[in-house]
Amino acid sequence: MTAPGPSGDVPPRSVSWADLGPRVVSAVVLVAIIATGLYFGGYVWAILAAIVFAITYREWEQMVTLKPIAPLGLVLGFLLAVASLAYPAFGPVATLAVAAVAVALSFLGERPVIVWRVGGIIFFAIVLIAVQELRGTVPAGIIAGWYLGIVIASNDTGAYFVGRVVGGPKLAPMISPAKTISGAVGGWLIGTIAGTIYWTIFTPSPWWLGLVFSAVIGVVGQVGDLIESAIKRLFRIKDSGDIIPGHGGFMDRLDSVTFGLILLVLIGLLHGGLGNVPVGFLYW
């Protein structure tokens, strides 16, 4: 317990911002790269996704095996990259076919980690399809991509600053000791407001739909963050990697994005159909 000062008051909680600089620089670089991929779409977007998911699977493989990546892991990561590159020309069937080959090959590895390998490949394949469907081939894909990015980034940034400044009780101390309830609520509110403003400006759909979608995607994103933290906790690691200064690995950045992405794409699929996800999501 902190000892009271001479006046009897408890000294203010010390807040460290040492990681803020690297986080900001990394975020700016990532936004620029993603924005470029979103703008061009097609094979530029597919190549970007291929690189990201090959690296992300490498992080997953090293986490679940608890050792440096083996040749089989490199092959599985390569196949996920191929699955992304196949999408623009052949659609989701090709992505699923390549992923099925990766699943079959994963049974050649050590038995204790087969379930984790298979689960990782299936999940990443689903996210790859969602990434491609989000962008699609129409300009609405750019608007939808920016919408998702703004909701999630505002949520994460808000949680970071509110959690650091306000502090308070932990959200899930057994899973992620650094996360606070104040950060989660503050981030969710900021993400919901930012998403609603963007929705109102860039879509003709009712503003309240943007409010509902932004609020729900924010919650789902935070749940995804906690799920990834729980898996890392299971394998006794703090970060999935160190490729992004101030943020960790790609898995650490994609946790909240992937779950929000999947929800967005499901809504777009139900309303607009396959191949028309961004329009189905944005226009009501």
Instruction: List, for residues 36-72, the tens digit of each pLDDT value.
Output: 999 999 999 999 999 999 999 999 999 998 888 888 9
Q: Which of 91, 210, 90, 190 is nearest to 144 (CA)?
A: 210
pLDDT-based confidence at residue 155 (cuts at 50, 70, 90)? very high
Is the model more confident about 4 or about 225?
225
Mean residue pLDDT of the chain comes to 87
Confidence at residue 26, expressed as pLDDT on a 0 to 100 scale? 76
Let me know if residue 15 belongs to a domain.
Answer: no
Residues 130 and 200 in one domain: no
Residues 176 and 281 in one domain: yes
Q: Which of 87, 112, 135 is the last residue of a domain?
A: 135
Let me know if residue 9 belongs to a domain.
Answer: no
Contacts of 93 (CB under 8 A, 6+ apart): none
Which tens digit of pLDDT belongs to each residue from 206-218? 999 999 999 999 9
Let me know if residue 275 belongs to a domain.
Answer: yes
Residues 151 and 238 in one domain: yes
Residue 247: is its pLDDT beyond 80?
no
Arithmetic mean of pLDDT, 241-256: 73
Q: Exposed/middle/buried for 91, CB within 10 Å: 0-12, 13-18, 19+?
A: middle
Q: Which of 221, 54, 52 is nearest to 121 (CA)?
A: 54
Confidence at residue 2, expressed as pLDDT on a 0 to 100 scale? 43
Residues 86 and 211 in one domain: no
Residue 4: is its pLDDT beyond 50?
no
Please give the model's pTM, rounded to 2 decimal places. 0.88
| Domain coverage including residue 221 | 22-40+138-284
In angstroms, the CA 129 to CA 40 distance is 18
